[in-house]
Amino acid sequence: MKTTNVSDHFHEECGVFGIYGHPEAANLAYLGLYALQHRGQESAGICSTDGERLHCRKDMGLVAEIFTESVLSELRGANAIGHTRYSTAGQSARLNAQPFLVECSKGQIAVAHNGNLTNAIDIRRDLEMSGSIFQANSDTEVIVHLIARSQEDNLEHALRESLLRMEGAYSLAVLSKEGLIVARDPYGFRPMAFGQIEHNGHTAYVFASETCAFDLIGATYIDDVQPGEMITITDSGELHRKRFAPVQDRHHCVFEHVYFARPDSVVFGRSVQKSRELLGRLLAREAPVEADIVVPLPDSGVDAAIGYAAESGLPYRMGLIRNHYVGRTFIEPKQSIRDFGVKLKLNPVRGVIEGKRVILVDDSLVRGTTSQKIVRIVRQAGAKEVHLRISCPPTISPCYYGVDTPDKNELIAANHSIDRIRDHTEADSLAYLSLEGLKQAVQDVQGEYCYACYTGQYPTDLVGIEQLLADSREKK
Ligand code: AMP
- Render each residue's pLDDT in the chain as its tens digit; 476 residues: 333 444 455 557 899 999 999 999 999 999 999 999 999 999 999 999 999 999 999 999 999 999 999 999 999 999 999 999 986 544 457 788 999 999 998 999 999 999 999 998 889 999 999 888 888 878 888 999 999 999 998 999 999 999 999 999 999 999 999 999 999 999 999 999 999 999 999 999 999 999 999 999 999 999 999 999 999 999 899 999 999 999 899 999 999 999 999 999 999 999 999 999 999 999 999 999 999 999 999 999 999 999 999 999 999 999 999 998 886 666 667 777 777 788 889 999 999 999 999 999 999 999 999 999 999 999 999 999 999 999 999 999 999 999 988 889 999 999 999 999 999 999 999 999 999 999 999 999 999 999 999 999 999 987 556 656 655 555 54
CA 140–ligand 1 middle distance (angstroms): 25
Q: Is the CB of 274 under 6 A from ligand 1?
A: no
Residue 234's Cβ-count burial label (10 Å; 0-12, 13-18, 19+) is middle
Within a domain: residue 262? no
Residues 353, 232 within the same domain: no
Within a domain: residue 195? yes
Closest-lying ligand 1 atom to the alpha carbon of residue 412: 2
User: Does the annotation count 14 as an active-site position?
Assistant: yes
Nearest-angstrom CA–CA distance, 271 and 259: 13
Residues 296, 239 within the same domain: no
Other Cβ atoms closer than 10 A to 360:
28
Q: Is the CB of 465 under 6 A from ligand 1?
A: no
Long-range contacts of 105-109 (CB under 8 A, 24+ apart): 105/148, 105/149, 106/147, 106/148, 106/150, 106/154, 106/155, 106/158, 106/176, 107/155, 107/176, 107/177, 107/178, 108/53, 108/54, 108/176, 108/177, 109/54, 109/144, 109/147, 109/155, 109/174, 109/175, 109/176
Q: What is the pLDDT of residue 1?
A: 34
Within a domain: residue 12? yes
Return all residues near 107 (Cβ < 8 A) that are at least 6 apart: 155, 176, 177, 178
Residues 94, 40 within the same domain: yes
Residues 224, 300 within the same domain: no
Within a domain: residue 451? no
Residues 296, 236 within the same domain: no
The domain total for the chain is 2
Residues 155, 68 within the same domain: yes
Within a domain: residue 254? no
Residues 99, 163 within the same domain: yes
User: In Å, what is the CA distance from 242 to each residue of 8, 182, 194, 226, 251?
Assistant: 32, 11, 14, 10, 20
pTM reported for the whole predicted model: 0.94
CA 275–ligand 1 middle distance (angstroms): 18
Q: What is the pLDDT of residue 2?
A: 35
List, in sequence order, the alpha helices (H) in 287-363: 302-312, 340-345, 350-353
CA 24–ligand 1 middle distance (angstroms): 36
Within a domain: residue 466? no
Within a domain: residue 65? yes
User: In Å, what is the CA distance from 60 to each residue of 4, 41, 190, 213, 299?
Assistant: 22, 8, 23, 21, 24
Residue range(s) defining the domain that contains residue 285: 272-325+339-443
Residues 54, 125 within the same domain: yes
Pocket test for ligand 1, best of 42, 114, 259, 322 (most atoms within 8 A of CB): 259
CA 258–ligand 1 middle distance (angstroms): 11
Residues 218, 286 within the same domain: no
Q: Is the CB of 259 under 6 A from ligand 1?
A: yes
